[in-house]
Structure 1
Amino acid sequence: MTLETVQIAHGATLAPDNIPLHFGDTRREYHAALETAVLMNRSHEGRIELVGDDRAAFLHRMSTNDLLNMAVDEGRPTIFTNPNARILDRAIVYNREGRLLLLTEPGRAQALLDYLQRQIFFNDKVRLHDVTESTRQFALHGPQADAVMAALIPNATDVPPLCGVATTIADVPVFVARRKPISESHWVVVVPFEHAAAVWTTLLEEGEPHGLVPAGSLIYNTLRIRAGRPAGRELSTEYIPLEVGLWDEISFTKGCYTGQEIIARMDSRNRLAKAMVRLILRAPLDAPTTLFHEGRVVGTLTSSVITPDDEHLGLGVVKFDVADVGVILSAGEGGVEAEIVARAGTLPPQLVGEETH
């Protein structure tokens, strides 16, 4: 049986790219993600391998994080920016034995591959391989995700944050790794294409005693907005990484990379023009739309969702001087009330806003 056949048998409704949207009961999926654990097919997140002696140095000069001297199976998220420090792409890089593995944002494998290919100089000892089609990628989220992995993999709970390990599931060689959480704990499982159905089935069977259920991309989007994790239009040339809470994906001690001067200047001045915030909306509202405060335009509602519990949640990027918990904004032409409940992502506590922007 194919992976798609197995997932349909569990009640999946598939998107055109064969990624499950849901498994028939989004409320069950949502509460499992918050209370036990869920298993998701995230194979539309691309997978690119880099080989060659210069693979780490090449990525290091191309992106924001320090990618040198990584331990085997250590992972680090990093961002690719243009000369104005605007976001082009984001990936997490794992240092596997003899190669680097990049996990991209959904649907971004070819775009990132093309971008990186254009940056290779004639003397760079690096080769790129898109392994998206020859592999599949699953994710586990939730407070019981660690218990599920421990049932399958010896010493899984000893794996440090953002690190991975090569192992087997259902006698299939796989790579499992921790990622930044959006609901308690987050694991990724990369499997060979031809064994994806067997690994998916084993994960569900072994996870059942821990409350594991399959969930679709609709719940992923809900979780990531709830957690304040940027995606889509937040990871675009509209913004620089600092404005969308990605300070922890930037090294401020490494050498030059594209866009570094602007990012370093903002860090040294401890000033930001904008910040991403989590919002509770008083009514459903589609993003993007304009955000106002006391009649003036202060930013954009960049993501919104209605949760299965009928909560109206959003993310917005707003001027720093209004990016405080408790501030009430209005959104769209109808003036829907939007309350800031938290700043999203990672921000240094000493930051202040720009006086003008």
Structure 2
Amino acid sequence: MNLQEWYQQSGGSLATDGIPLHFGDQTAEYNAAHAHAVLMDRSHEGRLETTGRDRLEIIQRISTNDVGHMAANEGRPTILTSPTGRIIDRLVAYNHGDKALITTEPGRGPAVRDYLQRQVFFNDEARIQDLGISTKQFTLHGPQAEAIVQIFAPQAGKQSYLECVDAQIDGVEVVFLKRKPLVGTQWVMIIPNEKAVEVWQSILTAGEQFGIQPAGSLTFNVLRIESGRPGVGHELSTDFIPLEAGLWDEVSFKKGCYTGQEIIARMESRNKLAKTMVTLNLSEMVESPVTLRVDGNTIGTLTSSVVTPHGEVVGIGFVKVPVAEAGKEVMVGENGVTAHILTLAGAQPPVLENR
């Protein structure tokens, strides 16, 4: 039995790429994510491996964060930006012994691989492999996610930073990667294709004592938007720079040059941020993108929106800095829908953090 057959026998509804959309009860999935833990198949997210002397240097010189000085098994998120500082892609890079592991946004693995390959010069020692061909990727989310990981990897979760840990699940070699959370904690597992069903079942069995549920990408999208995490094609696009998208903690202002560095550094040093990312609560569902207004004046754009299983409508948007305050009412589109700003999303500069 392959994974897709197992999902369907377990009540799963699948997208065309074989990734589960849901397992029949999205409310149960959502509740488990907030109270316990959920297991998701996120194999459509990219995962790459680089080897050789310059395995991290090629990422260091073209992305925003300082990934060239990580501790052993440390991970850091970083952004690929254009010469004008616009977002091309978001990665998480891990210093995994004599290799570097890289995870990407959904559907972006091959594009990131090709982009990195173009940055390898004749005197570089770096080889890039796409692990998406030979592996699957599962993720655990929720307040009990780390406790489940520690069943298999007792040493996991001991560091203050994102980390990668090698362990086994029923004799299968698995790499565990900690990432920034959507709810509770988030752990990624990279598993050989041929052992994916076995590992999936083992995780669910081990997690029963913690109330684990399988969950699909529809639940992931709700959690993403609720938590204010920028998504590919929505907030992660060339329409925005990292500082506008709540990604201040993924930009180093002390490292050397990288593509787009001059523009980003100038905006930080001159405090010239024109807009920033916020989460919103809407009076009713509106498909994004759509214009946001105050007193008839355009102040931003709603970029993501979703109805939660409990009927709330939440969204992510970009608004001008002067109106980026919790509780601020804005108009959404042209049909009388209102929204209130809930929070500033992601990591913000000190001047905005207390709003």
Give the structure-2-normalised TM-score: 0.97
Q: Which residue matches 1:292?
A: 293
Check if 1:47 corresponds to 2:47.
Answer: yes
Q: Which residue matches 1:74?
A: 74
Q: Measure the CA separation in 1 of the matches of 2:149 and 2:54.
A: 34
Please state whether the residue corresponding to 1:55 is helix, strand or coil. coil
Q: Which residue matches 1:167?
A: 167
Q: Which residue matches 1:279?
A: 280
Aligned pairs, number: 352
Deviation at 1:236, TM superposition (A): 0.4
Q: Which residue matches 1:252?
A: 253
Q: Measure the CA separation in 1 of the matches of 2:134 and 2:159.
A: 26
Deviation at 1:239, TM superposition (A): 0.0
Alpha-carbon deviations, 1:198-249, whole Å to 9, x = none? 1100000000110000000000000010000001220000000000100000
Q: Which residue matches 2:10?
A: 10
Q: Measure the CA separation in 2 of the matches of 1:161 and 1:6.
A: 35
Q: Which residue matches 1:155?
A: 155
Check if 1:336 corresponds to 2:340.
Answer: no
Check if 1:211 corresponds to 2:204.
Answer: no
Q: Which residue matches 2:264?
A: 263
Please state whether the residue corresponding to 2:220 is helix, strand or coil. helix
Deviation at 1:335, TM superposition (A): 2.7
Contact kept in structure 1, 2:58 and 2:116, CA below 8 Å: no
Deviation at 1:161, TM superposition (A): 3.4
Please state whether the residue corresponding to 1:206 is helix, strand or coil. helix
Q: Could you tell me the percent identity over the aligned residues?
A: 53
Map residues 183-262 of structure 1 onto 2, 5 A cutoff: 183-232=183-232, 233-262=234-263
Q: Which residue matches 1:324?
A: 325
Q: Measure the CA separation in 2 of the matches of 1:66 and 1:157.
A: 22
Contact kept in structure 1, 2:152 and 2:167, CA below 8 Å: no
Q: Which amino acid aligns with 1:327?
A: K
Alpha-carbon deviations, 1:149-172, whole Å to 9, x = none? 122222334254310111101210
Please state whether the residue corresponding to 1:234 is helix, strand or coil. coil
Check if 1:32 corresponds to 2:24.
Answer: no
Q: Measure the CA separation in 2 of the matches of 1:245 and 1:255.
A: 22
Contact kept in structure 1, 2:109 and 2:132, CA below 8 Å: yes
Q: Which residue matches 1:21?
A: 21
Alpha-carbon deviations, 1:30-62, whole Å to 9, x = none? 000001110000000011111111111111001
Q: Which residue matches 2:138?
A: 138
Q: Which amino acid aligns with 1:32?
A: A
Contact kept in structure 1, 2:305 and 2:314, CA below 8 Å: yes
Map residues 45-124 of structure 1 onto 2, 5 A cutoff: 45-124=45-124
Deviation at 1:281, TM superposition (A): 0.2
Q: Measure the CA separation in 2 of the matches of 1:46 and 1:133.
A: 10
Q: Measure the CA separation in 2 of the matches of 1:227 and 1:271.
A: 26
Q: Which moved more, 1:51-60 or 1:277-286?
A: 51-60
Q: Measure the CA separation in 2 of the matches of 1:44 and 1:253.
A: 33
Deviation at 1:271, TM superposition (A): 3.1
Please state whether the residue corresponding to 1:21 is helix, strand or coil. strand
Contact kept in structure 2, 1:32 and 1:38, CA below 8 Å: yes
Q: Which residue matches 1:355?
A: none
Q: Which amino acid aligns with 2:282?
A: L
Contact kept in structure 2, 1:19 and 1:41, CA below 8 Å: yes
Give the unaligned 5+ runs of structure 1. Answer: 353-357
Q: Which moved more, 1:188-197 or 1:121-130?
A: 121-130
Q: Which amino acid aligns with 1:48?
A: L
Q: Measure the CA separation in 2 of the matches of 1:170 and 1:86.
A: 44
Q: Measure the CA separation in 2 of the matches of 1:36 and 1:281.
A: 27
Deviation at 1:111, TM superposition (A): 1.1
Q: Measure the CA separation in 2 of the matches of 1:351 and 1:39.
A: 35
Contact kept in structure 1, 2:94 and 2:163, CA below 8 Å: yes
Deviation at 1:351, TM superposition (A): 4.8
Give the unaligned 5+ runs of structure 2. Answer: none
Q: Measure the CA separation in 2 of the matches of 1:160 and 1:153.
A: 16
Please state whether the residue corresponding to 2:56 is helix, strand or coil. helix
Q: Measure the CA separation in 2 of the matches of 1:228 and 1:33.
A: 16
Please state whether the residue corresponding to 1:68 is helix, strand or coil. coil
Contact kept in structure 1, 2:153 and 2:165, CA below 8 Å: no
Q: Which moved more, 1:238-247 or 1:107-116?
A: 107-116
Q: Measure the CA separation in 1 of the matches of 2:2 and 2:162.
A: 30
